């Protein structure tokens, strides 16, 4: 063998060795990394818990349905006027009546008299006309991607066979059914995600009134673990957190379990109501309610995380029989609310309040169906989008963005038939089209004025989308 050949052979051998070594090192490092990452656990403190990325399905979903249904659906009463948004909530009936709020006290005295108690209402919470599949179909038709049901509101009545609420749940009283489980099945069969609202505090639970730590240990935490293990929710939507800090509720401990070990650790999404100090600051996504955070101020910190606005179609979450057409938002208003929220990077969780016998009031059904009609045509500008970071001087035009596309959503058809674009920053586009039409729209030289086609009935109502790409 010539010297050259021998050197080449030796080189080959040593490069083979080197490859082997490199592969071995890579393998060792890789298995170490996987082992480490399996061990990297969220610890029960806010800096660690807040660092968990919110599963992407949530910010893509954009539109969910909130359902407030319970014993309060029997009296279904709340005052309809006034500036205090919270006093209109019919689901607060027990508390408002007990504290002597004039409208509730008067209504109770005149309608039921002093001998009828709130727990007496449970037997009339019959769910006799409840068709869970029809609810789920309606939510799907509305274009919603997820549903959040009140598993337990502040009155403590559980909509599932909770061992902790042994004398006060829907399997033993009223519906005689596992409402949480039955609805989850129907909703998932329609391809939607299922979540639960859960009130941390209970107004009149003797254990809560006697010892909060005992209540948390023996009642609240077991219920939360039970809900998660039984129904594997996509959303855990807590509330009623404001009387105590998150530490008292042992919320960080629960969340560390939820994120590290629970059966839903990779998909579950939670909100920010985990203690009196947490709203808009800690947890998963931030929440607003009728546009406000709990202290009654509008929230300015929203952009920091995914967030969600929740509200009723009327002024209450629980069904309120006192409400008439004038108290309900129109379909146009609701579509505009959805657009406004989504253009600011949020989700809308729109509430329905079913009746005690399980019907979704026709007016609510109609509003949901209308939103669904609009979304079927224009959903491309909503689902999976993010705030475009573009603000138009014209309030009536909102922007969303998805990949290389930008959507200008017009909540009014411009009188001059032109869409005027604001400064789009770095964003460049080649073509503009109106959703529902194939033709490329003409623009002026500066590309700031786009000429729209004639507005024809098949384009639908309430809002129209120009897609830029």
The site for ligand GLC (CB under 6 A) is made up of 89, 91-92, 239, 289, 310, 317
Q: Which is nearer to ligand GLC, 72 or 168 (CB)?
A: 72
Rg of the chain taking only CA atoms, in angstroms:
27
Structural contact between residues 162 and 173, judged by C-beta atoms closer than 8 angstroms: no
Q: How far is CA 140 from CA 82, 93, 125, 364, in A?
A: 34, 30, 25, 14
Cβ 152 to ligand GLC shortest distance, Å: 11
β-pair type (464-468, 405-410)? antiparallel
Q: Which is nearer to ligand GLC, 91 or 234 (CB)?
A: 91
Considering beta carbons, is residue 89 or 215 the nearer one to ligand GLC?
A: 89
Identity of the residue, 44 or 75, whose beta carbon is nearer to ligand GLC in the bound complex = 75
Measured on CA atoms in the order 184, 186, 187, 193, is the torsion positive or negative? positive
Residue length, the chain? 469
- Is the alpha carbon torsion for 96, 99, 105, 108 positive or negative? positive
Nearer to ligand GLC, 341 or 406 (CB): 341
Residue 337 beta carbon to ligand GLC: minimum distance, rounded to whole angstroms = 15
Q: Which residues on neighbouring strands pair with residue 398, listed in sequence order?
A: 409
Q: Which residue is nearest to ligand GLC (CB)?
A: 289
Please name which of 119, 122, 129 lies closest in space to residue 174, comparing C-alpha atoms: 122
Min dist CB 311 to ligand GLC, Å, is 8
Report the SS3 class of residue 265: coil
Q: How far is the CB of 410 from ligand GLC (least distance, A)?
A: 30
Pairing outcome for strands 193-199 and 146-152: parallel
The answer to whether 104 and 88 are in contact (CB under 8 A) is no
Shortest distance in whole angstroms from residue 94 CB to ligand GLC: 11
Q: Is the dihedral angle over the CA atoms 201, 152, 341, 400 positive or is it negative?
A: positive
The pair phi, psi for residue 386, each rounded to 5°, is: -130, 165
Strands in 284-404 per DSSP E: 286-289, 307-312, 346-352, 386-387, 397-402
Q: Which is nearer to ligand GLC, 199 or 378 (CB)?
A: 199
State the nearest-atom distance from the C-beta of 116 to ligand GLC, in Å.
Answer: 22
Two tokens, residue 461: 């109502």
Q: Rank residues 351 and 373 by Cβ distance to ligand GLC and give the closer one.
A: 351
Output the smallest distance, CB 462 to ligand GLC, in A.
Answer: 25
Q: Which of residues 197 and 464 has its CB atom nearest to ligand GLC in the complex?
A: 197
Q: Specify the residue, 76 or 463, whose C-beta has the smaller distance to ligand GLC.
A: 76
- Cβ at position 289, least distance to ligand GLC in Å: 4
Taking the C-alpha atoms of residue 285 and residue 15, their distance in angstroms, rounded to an integer, is 52
Give which of 285, 182, 171 is closest to 231, Cα–Cα. 182
In the complex, least distance from residue 62 CB atom to ligand GLC, rounded to whole angstroms: 18
């Amino acid at each position: 063998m010539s010297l050259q050949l021998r050197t080449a052979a030796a080189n080959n051998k040593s490069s083979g060795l080197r490859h082997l070594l490199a592969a071995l090192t890579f393998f060792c490092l890789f298995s170490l990394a996987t082992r480490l990452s399996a061990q990297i656990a969220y610890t029960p403190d806010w800096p660690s818990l807040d660092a968990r990325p919110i599963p992407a399905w949530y910010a893509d979903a954009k539109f969910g349905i909130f359902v407030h249904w319970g014993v309060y659906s029997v009296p279904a009463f709340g005052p309809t006027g006034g500036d205090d948004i919270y006093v209109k909530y019919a689901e607060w009936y027990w508390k408002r009546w007990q504290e002597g709020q004039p409208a509730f006290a008067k209504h109770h005295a005149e309608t039921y008299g002093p001998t009828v108690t709130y727990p007496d209402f449970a037997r009339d919470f019959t769910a006799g006309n409840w068709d869970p599949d029809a609810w789920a179909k309606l939510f799907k038709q509305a274009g919603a991607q997820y549903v959040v049901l009140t598993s337990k509101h502040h009155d403590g009545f559980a909509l599932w066979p909770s061992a902790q609420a042994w004398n006060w749940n829907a399997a033993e009283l009223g519906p005689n059914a596992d409402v949480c489980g039955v609805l989850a099945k129907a909703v998932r069969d329609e391809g939607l995600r299922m979540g639960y609202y859960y009130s941390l505090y209970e107004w009149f639970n003797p254990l809560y009134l006697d010892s909060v730590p005992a209540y948390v240990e023996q009642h609240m935490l077991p219920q939360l673990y039970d809900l998660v293990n039984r129904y594997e929710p996509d959303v855990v939507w807590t509330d009623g957190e404001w009387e105590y800090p998150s530490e008292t509720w042992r919320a960080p401990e629960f969340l560390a379990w939820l994120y590290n070990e629970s059966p839903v650790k990779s998909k579950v999404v939670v909100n920010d109501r985990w203690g009196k100090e947490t709203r808009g600051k800690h947890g998963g996504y931030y929440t607003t309610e009728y546009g406000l955070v709990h202290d009654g101020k509008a929230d300015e910190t929203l952009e920091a995380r995914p967030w969600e606005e929740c509200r009723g179609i009327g002024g209450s979450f629980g069904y309120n029989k006192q409400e008439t057409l004038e108290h309900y938002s129109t379909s146009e208003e609701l579509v505009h609310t959805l657009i406004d929220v989504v253009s600011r990077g949020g989700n809308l969780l729109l509430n329905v309040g079913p009746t005690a016998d399980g019907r979704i009031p026709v007016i609510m059904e109609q509003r949901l169906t209308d939103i669904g009609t609009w979304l079927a045509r224009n959903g491309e500008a909503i689902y999976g989008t993010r705030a475009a970071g573009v603000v138009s001087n014209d309030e009536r035009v909102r922007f969303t963005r998805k990949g290389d596309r930008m959507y200008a959503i017009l909540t009014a058809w411009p009188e001059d038939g032109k869409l005027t674009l604001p400064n789009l920053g770095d964003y460049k586009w080649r073509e503009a089209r109106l959703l529902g039409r194939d033709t490329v729209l003409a623009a002026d030289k500066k590309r700031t004025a786009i000429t729209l086609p004639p507005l024809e009935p098949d384009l639908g109502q309430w809002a129209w989308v120009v897609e830029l790409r």
